[in-house]
A and B are shown apart, each in its own frame.
Chain A
Amino acid sequence: MHAFKYHRPSSVNDAAALMKGEAKLLAGGQTLVQTMKLRLASPSDIIDLGTIKDLAGIKSDGKTVTIGAMARHADVAHSVDVKKAIPALAALAAMIGDRQVRAMGTCGGSIANNDPAADYPAAVLALNATITTNKGKHEADKFFKGMFETALKPGEIITAVSFQAPKRAAYLKFKNQASRFAIVGVFVADFGGTVRVAVTGAGPSVFRQADMEKALAAKFAPESVANIKVKQDGLNSDMHASAEYRAHLVTVMARRAVEAALK
C-alpha cells in the first residue's frame, strides 16, 4: 500500500473540506483497503467517515426507511425497524459476504462503489430509493451509471439512503460460491399497482427489467415471469457463468423472488 495522509473529521462538512485532489473517503474499508493493498487505488489522503456520529443511524416511519451511509450491513440486518418495514432489505443485508465483512461494510460504501455484483444497488433500484448527499439528492433511476460508476461528483459524500417500503418484496441471489457476491440477484418489489424488478450481477451495472415489471403489475404471480426470456446481449460472461446462463438465471431468480414475496 502506498503512503497517504489519514484524517478523522468529526462532521460531514469537515470531511467535504478535506476532499481535494486525490483524497478518498474511507467507510468500512472492506473494498477500499484491499484495493489500496493491490495499489489499484493510491489516494493521497484518506478521509475516515467512521467517527462521524450522525451518519450511522437507521430511521423508519413505516413508509420510508432511511439508512445512514455508515450503517454497517450487520446493523441493517439486525434492525427491528428495517425488519418490520422492509423485511426483504434486512434479509439482503444479512446475505452480504460473511459476518466479519458485515460487521464493517456499510450501505454508503457499497452504493458508492457500485460493484456490478453488489447487493445493495438492487435494493436501491427496486425500492425506488433516494440517495442523499452533502450536495443534494439523487433518484435511484439516475444514480447507477455503469460498472463502478455512479452519479456522484468528485468529493460528493453520501449521507443517507431512503428506501420506500413496498407492499411486499423479496430479494433472491444466486451466489458465487467463492466470493458470495451475486452471479445474479433479483429484487422484486410490489407497490400495489406498480412493480419494480432490479437485477444485479447479470450486467455491467444493476438494471430494471421492464417486461417483468409490466407482467407483474398486471398479475403479481410467479407464472407472470416464468416464461419471460431475457436477452443475453450485453450481460456479463466470465469464468463463473456465461451471459446465456446469467440470462436464464434472471428469469429463474425473478420467479423465485415473486414466490418468496408472496409467502
Chain B
Amino acid sequence: MAVKVSLKVNGKSVSAEVEERTLLVTLIREQLRLTGTHVGCDTAQCGACTVSMNGMAVKSCSMLAMQAEGADVMTIEGVAKPDGTLHPMQAAFKEHHGLQCGFCTPGMVMNAIDFAKHHPNPSEQEIREALEGNLCRCTGYHNIVKAIGAGARAMAASK
C-alpha cells in the first residue's frame, strides 16, 4: 500500500508516496533521482549507500524510508556549495587522489564528514577505524586515509 513520507533532503522539504517496504536508498535514488548515493552490496557491508541523517552517517540500504520520517537527510549532492565549490572533504579527496573508479566515494565522503565533525585532527589509526563500514575495491585505502585527515583539518580550519 502506498503511504506518505515527509522529510528534508539536502535542505529541501520533500513528500513522497512510497510503499511501506521501500528502503531509504530506493526513495533517494529511484524517486528523488539522486543517484550519487550508490548501492554496492545491499547487505549493510560496504557503506556505498551512506547518507547523513540528522547529522549522523547511516547506511540507507539498511533502513526503511519510513524510518526517516521528519528527518534531515543529506546526500552527496547536498555537500558542495550551490555555486559548485567543493566541500573541504570533497576537495581533499580530489587533492589526495582518494578515489579511482569512484564507486565507493560518495559513501566515503558522507561518512568522513560526520567523522570529521567529532575528530578535527584525527590520527591515521582513528581514520582507519572509522572506515570499518566502508569498503573500497580500488585504492587500497591509503589515499582515502590521507584525504580524510586533510579534509578533517580543512573542515576544522574553515570553521
Contact = CB atoms under 8 A, between A and B. Distances in A.
Contact of B1 (A5, A8, A34, A99): A5
A180 B66 contact: no
A30 to B, nearest CB: 6
Contacts of A37: 42-43
Nearest to A36: B21
B63 A29 contact: yes
B67 A100 contact: no
A6 B20 contact: yes
B58 interface: yes
A50 B67 contact: yes
Contact of B66 (A1, A6, A74): A6
Chain B contact patch, size range: 20 to 34
Contacts of A50: 67
A48 B111 CA distance: 25
Contact of A34 (B43, B130, B132): B43
Interface in B15-52: 19-21, 23, 42-44, 47, 50
Contact of A3 (B20, B67, B132, B134): B20
B115 A99 contact: yes
Given A33-B23, A97-B133, A103 B57 contact: yes
B44 A101 contact: yes
B157 to A, nearest CB: 23
A148 interface: no
State the main secondary structure of chain A at its contact with B: mixed
A99 B132 contact: yes
A104 interface: yes
Contacts of B42: 37
A34 B23 CA distance: 11
Contact of A100 (B1, B21, B47, B66): B47
Contacts of B80: none
Nearest to B68: A50
Contacts of B14: none
Given A34-B43, A100-B50, A101-B44, A8 B111 contact: no
B3 interface: yes
B69 A8 contact: yes
A111 to B, nearest CB: 19
A171 B134 CA distance: 25
B67 A101 contact: no
Interface in A60-99: 74, 97-99
A205 to B, nearest CB: 23
A46 B67 CA distance: 11
Nearest to A103: B56
A119 B131 CA distance: 20
Contacts of A3: 1, 19-21
A36 B42 CA distance: 12
A36 B66 CA distance: 15
B64 interface: yes
Contacts of B23: 33
B59 interface: yes
B62 interface: yes
Interface string A155-193: 000000000000000000000000010000000000000
Given A29-B63, A29-B67, A99-B115, 12 more contacts: A5-B1, A6-B64, A26-B67, A29-B62, A30-B44, A33-B62, A33-B63, A100-B47, A100-B111, A101-B44, A101-B59, A104-B58
11 contacts: A1-B21, A4-B20, A6-B64, A30-B62, A50-B67, A98-B47, A98-B134, A99-B114, A101-B133, A103-B53, A104-B58
Interface of B: 1, 3, 19-21, 23, 42-44, 47, 50, 53, 56-59, 62-64, 66-67, 69, 111, 114-115, 130, 132-134
